[in-house]
Structure 1
């Protein structure tokens, strides 16, 4: 028996892990030579496909040149070139980039940036507003900002209080805006933290660009910072480079990770407006931004991220995203017609539906659904009874159609 404790795994129910030996494109190959279609981009990180040769070569080249260097007091070309290229793709108002190593830490950095900003300006703003059903990571700070429940109950004593507004489900947007207005008027409110357009781990819940734009406008009106957690939604998942692009929204702080290296290595970036950086800029060392990780801006990871951005410039990535979205739209029509599937929905490359009733993470059908797809050599990992597809951009229409077939079959068998 392996000594390894796996993430989000109840080993009493799933005692054996499937060993994966290699990967290419949208496919994994296990130790027995069986191919598995990666329909969720290995937890939403793979964009262009596994082991993309351009990114792999960049990693090889950098590993033989500079593997690691402390990023305090030092810099290096991969980090500088990546930052320059990324900022060129983003709105001009975002001028500063802070590196970290995961989505959770990117959000932790954002929260600390916001609170430090107001502290250094002598303002008493310290409260964070969040959307109900949100998920921002598994560190203590991000758990505090996420939805409370079975994920967080053992750690409740560690978590700080935040203010929650209702999720803006269709037809209920005004309740969300009214609640945000009340909190935004509070002179203690520092920031609104949200996942733009799609709440991922909260059940692939979608809301409209229009209400995102209205929330951003409310924040701006009352001097509240908008923190966009685009850890999952960024890098084209919703059909645009950023989900915020659909609403014409420029956040005050932007969190990116997952697809930042095309899924090849861990890295994250938190970007902010110039005034947030300037509030920390001082000859007073007490106003230093006190955050770091040992591997901040690891050169090999930055080289992978740079190669990823180069693919966005040299390959028809947007065309591939559009083709995925079109194939998912075909699947959406099929899923919506099935009597045992509910809530079929799509946002760009993301498709989701519930099997057998409203979505719930701890539903009894969850483990059965996971086994069902694994037996068909599909890496589809439902969120309870919410089944979703979030594929790499190299996926074909036929491969996605096979996933849609499997979802329909699962509804027949387990719905």
Structure 2
């Protein structure tokens, strides 16, 4: 047995991989990665794969980035971690100081966690306790959208609206008011996301109006519903939502875990609408794909409701063992330095134009491509049975998964969501690599549908 097969055998003997049906690994065993370099990962046999999904949307500046490597090495030789209760350190302080210059105006305090789901749990608990401690004890419910995704822990999963993640766990989940999400590709109002007035907001308005006395917060992925299929919607929806939450004294929680850190062309997606949420969660790209770190950032108004003598019992008694991890914070500081020193958002603006041009030229003529949509450095292809009717494929055909397997053979990791093939590459990608990524996507889509005939 060669080395690859032996490692794959041991992997499958011991490891249960995330978001997987492990029986699939009998046909497609795990790819054993040896190293990463820029937008590419390389397996132990030397085959390279372009990481078109930034390894689950976390990698910003390429694999094995030398600047970040050096920052991590330097920090590891000084302090790896220390209890974050009553102790602090320079990387955490510098990170928060730098972030305050970038987040939407009005956000002022940072609570540390160690993964995106945990930061959502923090936001939900803070929102509830905030209302409780300001005399609004009836406010115990949350409002979330269909097709939303906010993480996998019980509270975060409760907020999600993608049944493939939550269906089996529904007996365990919180009772959430669910509102129809914007669906611009299949708009029921016959509008276009670029010039509509967010008419679909009426569903949210009706739900909140009827239940506002009991609603603690509305949680939303600003501008793009990620795991729900890269559903991009109008910033007017967010503007209306901010006004509605203000009217009824409801907290607005912006989940910027996936779309923050420049993905949509702005540092944070809320900026497209010019709004400030009451609580905002940040993770994934904050450490450029290196280490787990998550932040829940809130307004002073929220924070002040917890500030009192200890005996008043108003503390937020919540912690994570690795809160404020010094290694992760040092990497996050270096990430923000790269944004500033390399003018990343400005450079990405031009790269986004290149991505759009190449994608539209090479994908829109495919009969099964219903729509190509893009915001910033996020592009998505929705595959349909018929362009006119926009009819979806049957879920058990696993169209996206079959295309994913073909693309892997051709050297690109695209890992679609359902029938949506998407591109969310590291920002260091160049034009030649963008063209290769799109060419392989085109070839893989065409090959799959040709083989179906």
More displaced, 163-172 or 211-220?
A: 163-172
Cα deviation, 1:224-254, whole Å, max 9, x if unaligned, reads 1110000000011111111111111111111
Aligned to 1:275: 301
Cα deviation, 1:275-303, whole Å, max 9, x if unaligned, reads 11111111135211121111001000000
Residue 178 of structure 2 aligns to a residue in which SS?
strand
Q: 1:359 to 1:392 in 2, by over 3 A?
A: farther
Q: Is 2:145 the partner of 1:140? A: no
Where do 1:200-239 residues align within 5 Å?
A: 200-239=226-265
Aligned to 2:321: 294
Q: Is 2:165 the partner of 1:151? A: yes
Residue 128 of structure 1 aligns to a residue in which SS?
strand
Q: Is 2:349 the partner of 1:349? A: no
From 367, 373, 376, the equivalent of 2:407 is: 373
Q: Is 2:201 the partner of 1:176? A: yes
Q: CA deviation at 1:355?
A: 2.7
Cα deviation, 1:39-89, whole Å, max 9, x if unaligned, reads 111100011111221111111011111111110111111101111111121
Distance in 2, Cα, partners of 1:194 & 1:376: 36
From 3, 12, 17, the equivalent of 1:6 is: 17
Distance in 2, Cα, partners of 1:195 & 1:252: 14
Aligned to 1:394: 428
Distance in 2, Cα, partners of 1:179 & 1:210: 13
From 285, 290, 312, the equivalent of 1:264 is: 290
Q: CA deviation at 1:184?
A: 4.3
Aligned to 2:127: 114
Give the CA RMSD over aligned residues.
1.6
More displaced, 75-84 or 214-223?
A: 214-223
- What's the TM-score, normalizing by structure 2? 0.88
Contact 1:166 1:179 (8 Å CA) reproduced: yes
Aligned to 1:328: 355
Unpaired segments of 5 or more residues in structure 2?
1-8, 190-197, 386-391
Q: CA deviation at 1:162?
A: 0.5
Distance in 2, Cα, partners of 1:85 & 1:7: 33
- Larger-gyration structure (1/2): 2
- What's the TM-score, normalizing by structure 1? 0.96
From 49, 71, 79, the equivalent of 1:36 is: 49
Q: 1:138 to 1:45 in 2, by over 3 A?
A: same
Contact 1:342 1:353 (8 Å CA) reproduced: yes
Q: CA deviation at 1:106?
A: 1.1
From 140, 150, 166, the equivalent of 2:180 is: 166
